[in-house]
Amino acid sequence: MDHFEYRDRTLFCEDVPVPELAEKYGTPLYVYSQATLLHHLKEVQTAFAEAKPVICYSVKANGNLSLCRLMGQHGSGFDVTSQGEFQRALKAGPAGAKIVFAGVGKTDAEIEFALKNGVFLFDVESEQELLAIGAVAQKLGVKANVALRVNPDLPPKTHVKTDTSVKGVKFGLDIETIIDVAKSVVGHPGLAVVGLHMHLGSPILKAEPYRQGCEKGVALIRAFRAQGHNIQYLNMGGGFGINYRKDEAKPASAFAEVILPAVRETGCQLILEPGRFIVGNAAILLSRVVFTKSTGGKHYVIQDAAMNDLIRPTLYGSLHRIWPVHPAAGVPVRPDVNGDPDDPNPFRAMPNCFNQDVVGPVCESGDYLAKDRPLPALTRGDLLAVFSAGAYGMTMASNYNSRVRAAEVLVTGRTHRLIRRRETFADLVACEEDCLT
């Protein structure tokens, strides 16, 4: 569900015509819908309300301070994976917001920073990390609350680069050894093992993997408690899929149906770390056509958004719906696409459309947003919308080819405001100028 729709052949974000945003803020431009963000946060809160969950918005999905502040204002804590993300959460969130610190490579300095700044829980990924947290906590004279992250060794569920619970990935403690690791720190003066963490990857479009994971999790919690650990939290991470294509994603209630029984059985406080589910469908990347070109039997739309603005298609082969902001008469007002996640090319032929590659200005053959995509004829200056761009879009953007990163705007009803200004050349060289000799 999102608040982007066409009215009289013009795309609107909530009640703002998208061309108005392009005129005021320029392109490329990330456009966020506040109503969509809050709708999806509320959906998670409602679906899991029985468990009174601790919901920690995943900052890595999109760490814009204004968006994080919005999450905090509506009852969310934060899931972070670095000191930088931790500092974002502290700056954006309300005082006392719960912050869970995940990630496989926490340094001693990051651990110390987190302990000094009220970290709620560490998600621990390895035995060495567990001991390092304990040592830093002892040095500070405190006890660190930790949840052991298990790799439950489930079958593949999503893209190989984002599937985190199959054997052979860097994440979590092996399910065969995690009980021994937990036993080795019973009574440790710097550690309190208070939870089990299990993040299965993202995006996951079926509830069954969560049911399988919960079954294994319940058994592990029993084993930890038998060792003497006071297990209070079951952290099932995030990873709920979204509608990149059409309607392939499950509602939050479908995941709640298989997770809540484990919460009832264990009596644990549930922690969730959604990111993509909240912000993914809440934004478009707005771009403007620079040139069109036909060569070698191919047709190209060259527009001003590039792989440095949205790297997901190049990095993961991901599919984003792309459509003109002003579809011409005789052209459908939206692309014809099926929601089958196993279809490598779900976009169907449409009237007055032909296959085109949507590419950017970056000097790489891999700089594309779509390949062989049915689109209407486009001309220089036309606006394009890349949908479902809110998660892992701006947060993974770079300055490759010395391109300035895009601006971001937040739309609320009929109003809109800048939440990140467009970078300048001065920003690009600010860390280098003082080092010139």
169 has pLDDT over 90: no
Q: What is the mean pLDDT of residues 383-392?
A: 98
The pTM for the full model equals: 0.95
Residue that the structure tokens 């999102």 belong to? 2
Asked whether the beta carbons of 178 and 123 are under 8 A apart, the reply is no
Percent of the chain having pLDDT more than 90? 88
Asked whether the beta carbons of 132 and 103 are under 8 A apart, the reply is no
275 is in an annotated binding site: yes
Radius of gyration of the chain (CA): 23
Residues 338, 356: Cα–Cα separation, whole Å: 19
210 is in an annotated binding site: no
257 has pLDDT over 60: yes
Give all domains of the chain, ordered by start, each with its CATH number.
Answer: 4-32+280-432 (2.40.37.10), 34-278 (3.20.20.10)
Percent of the chain having pLDDT more than 70? 97
Q: At what angle do helices 127-140 and 108-116 cross, to 10 degrees?
A: 50
Q: What is the pLDDT of residues 318-331, one digit of tens each?
A: 999 999 999 999 99
Other Cβ atoms less than 10 A from the Cβ of 364: the count is 14
Q: In the structure, what pLDDT confidence band is assigned to residue 223 with cuts at 50, 70 and 90?
A: very high
Set 56, 363, 431, 435: catalytic member:
363
Residues 298, 211: Cα–Cα separation, whole Å: 46
Q: In the structure, what pLDDT confidence band is assigned to residue 165 with cuts at 50, 70 and 90?
A: low
Q: Give 381's Cβ-side CA count (13 Å radius).
A: 1
Q: What is the mean pLDDT of residues 214-220?
A: 95
405 is in an annotated binding site: no
Q: In the structure, what pLDDT confidence band is assigned to residue 437 with cuts at 50, 70 and 90?
A: confident
171 has pLDDT over 90: no
408 is in an annotated binding site: no
Give the type of residue at 183.
K
What is the model's pLDDT at position 340?
Answer: 85
72 is in an annotated binding site: no
Length of the chain: 437
154 has pLDDT over 70: yes
Q: Is 292 exposed, middle or buried (0-12, 13-18, 19+ CB in 10 A)?
A: middle
Q: Give 423's Cβ-side CA count (13 Å radius).
A: 16
Q: In the structure, what pLDDT confidence band is assigned to residue 166 with cuts at 50, 70 and 90?
A: low
155 has pLDDT over 70: no
Single out the residue of 120, 388, 109 nearest to residue 269, CA to CA. 120
364 is in an annotated binding site: yes
Got the DSSP string for 11-42?
A: EEETTEEHHHHHHHH-SSEEEEEHHHHHHHHH
233 is in an annotated binding site: no
Six token digits for residue 403:
């391109």
Q: What is the mean pLDDT of residues 237-251?
A: 92
What is the model's pLDDT at position 157?
Answer: 55
Q: What is the pLDDT of residues 75-128, one digit of tens each?
A: 999 999 999 999 999 999 999 999 999 999 999 999 999 999 999 999 999 999
What is the model's pLDDT at position 344?
Answer: 85
What is the model's pLDDT at position 158?
Answer: 63
CA distances from 158 to 99, 150, 199, 209, 328 (A): 27, 18, 13, 11, 36
Tell me, rounded to whole angstroms, the distance of Cα 424 from its chain centroid.
26
What is the model's pLDDT at position 202?
Answer: 81
What is the model's pLDDT at position 159?
Answer: 58
Q: In the structure, what pLDDT confidence band is assigned to residue 163 with cuts at 50, 70 and 90?
A: low
Q: What is the pLDDT of residues 341-382, one digit of tens each?
A: 888 889 999 999 999 999 999 999 999 999 999 999 999 999
256 has pLDDT over 90: yes
380 is in an annotated binding site: no
Q: What is the pLDDT of residues 27-39, one digit of tens each?
A: 999 999 999 999 9
What is the model's pLDDT at position 152?
Answer: 85
285 has pLDDT over 80: yes
Residue that the structure tokens 């929601």 belong to? 339
Higher-confidence position of 153 and 385: 385
85 is in an annotated binding site: no
Q: Is 268 labeled as catalytic in the residue annotation?
A: no
